[in-house]
Homo-oligomer: A and B are copies of this chain.
Amino acid sequence: MSPTPTATQWTLAHRAAKMNPSVIREILKVTERPGIISFAGGLPSPQTFPVADFEEACAKVLRDDPQGALQYAASEGYGPLREMVAASLGAQARAQGQRWDINPNQVMITTGSQQGLDLVAKILLDEGSRVLVESPTYLGAVMAFTPMEPEVVSVESDDEGLDLADLRAKAKDARFLYVLPNFQNPTGRTMSEARRAALSATAAELGLPIMEDNPYGDLWFDTPPPAPLTARNPDGGIYLGSFSKVLAPGLRMGFIVAPAAVYPKLLQAKQAADLHSPSFNQRMIAEVMKDGFLDRHVPTIRALYKAQRDAMLEALAQHFPDAKTNPEQSLTWNTPAGGMFLWARLPAGMNAVNLLPHAVDKGVAFVPGAPFYAGHPDERSMRLSFVTPSVAEIHRGVAALAAAIKEQQAA
């Protein structure tokens, strides 16, 4: 005999009311019509996925130590991979002129760097806690922080990074500053060496913890970006990294480097969240990475993305010749030194959200910039990804974007 089902009393947590679907995922759904050239996605180019190397690594891992790859494992992650991360970050920092000695015990492997954001929020944010972000900032970080119900405060930012006077004005009682210094999502901008040195000094003076997110740092085009903030004061920061952009996002592998003051609590949060990240994927990545694979592979990604960035810059210059002479009446844009995104700004009086459906009608999609602002949004801003479409598509897409803008200007 089945019971008569009555209305079950589902009571949602207070925090659930604050959680919302990603505006950007909703936008992407609209733009996923066949035939649309998309500058909207944040997807690495699948051309860069080292498929044959993964296939070899899978076979080797399952042959050499199937039990290790398939059994439950330590929450901290696979030892050899943690060692590789520590060594590789240390070597990179040295090449950037900064000493950074990382004990592998400070490294934790996460289910993508997105999970790092969730875990840090869990252990550092109470309801109403102040957390500082750039303006604009990575939307996925704000989405990861939101369930902990913090007050997210936007710090003014310019082309070189954070405005330190505004940071000082807002830093009191902040639990941490979240910053993405290299080829930022969404703006593509990079924090200068001078700004990093000053920010690091300011944060140290204020005792302000920094959460540094660096998923794109390896994708530089001409010269490596300046050394990480965390390398300058390892006890004062948590560093998040990712294998998604240098190997493949579908394996969901990232990592945290955290100081002793927070590592044990992060580990407990990790254990409670998913016990550990897949042992198999960790070993696959360690297998692929050994013998310096990334030193050979990443330059091919850089070259591809640089060529595509150049194509986008060339197409933009061609279709918007007045950008420099009459910037208020033209689309304008920056020149990212790496990464996947370029940040553009519509002519005065236009609104990127309103433009989007017209652009899609013309056959091109982008992401409006407004959702990336925790504070007052710039409605004219938009994010253009140059990594997924081909060079020919980039030229056609920019032409379509120009046509949509001109029609809207004339309307």
**Does A122 sit at the interface, judged by CB under 8 A?**
yes
Q: Is the CB–CB distance between A6 and B204 below 8 Å?
A: yes
* Segment 92-146 of A: residues with Cβ below 8 Å from B: 110-112, 114-115, 118, 122-126, 129, 140, 143-144, 146
Q: How many residues of A contact B (CB 8 A)?
A: 101
- The residue on B at minimum CB distance from A145 is B272
**Does A4 sit at the interface, judged by CB under 8 A?**
yes
Q: Is the CB–CB distance between A276 and B261 below 8 Å?
A: no
**Does A396 sit at the interface, judged by CB under 8 A?**
no
Considering the chains assembled together, what is the distance between the CA atoms of A305 and B67 in angstroms? 18
What are 30 A-B contacts defined by CB distance under 8 Å? A3-B200, A3-B205, A8-B207, A8-B208, A8-B237, A8-B259, A10-B209, A13-B124, A15-B122, A16-B123, A21-B267, A21-B268, A42-B72, A46-B67, A49-B67, A49-B70, A54-B66, A71-B249, A111-B252, A112-B274, A114-B272, A114-B275, A115-B274, A118-B273, A140-B272, A252-B274, A252-B277, A252-B278, A252-B279, A278-B281
Considering the chains assembled together, what is the distance between the CA atoms of A21 and B271 in angstroms? 8
Most B CB contacts (10 A, CB to CB) among A68, A262, A274 go to: A274
Nearest CB on B from A188, distance (A): 19
The interface residues of chain B lying within 8 Å CB-to-CB of A143 are 268, 271-272
Considering the chains assembled together, what is the distance between the CA atoms of A14 and B123 in angstroms? 8
* Segment 1-48 of A: residues with Cβ below 8 Å from B: 1-16, 19-22, 25, 42-44, 46
Q: Is the CB–CB distance between B209 and A265 below 8 Å?
A: no
Nearest CB on B from A301, distance (A): 14
**Does A232 sit at the interface, judged by CB under 8 A?**
yes
Nearest CB on B from A152, distance (A): 13
- The residue on B at minimum CB distance from A20 is B268
**Does A73 sit at the interface, judged by CB under 8 A?**
yes
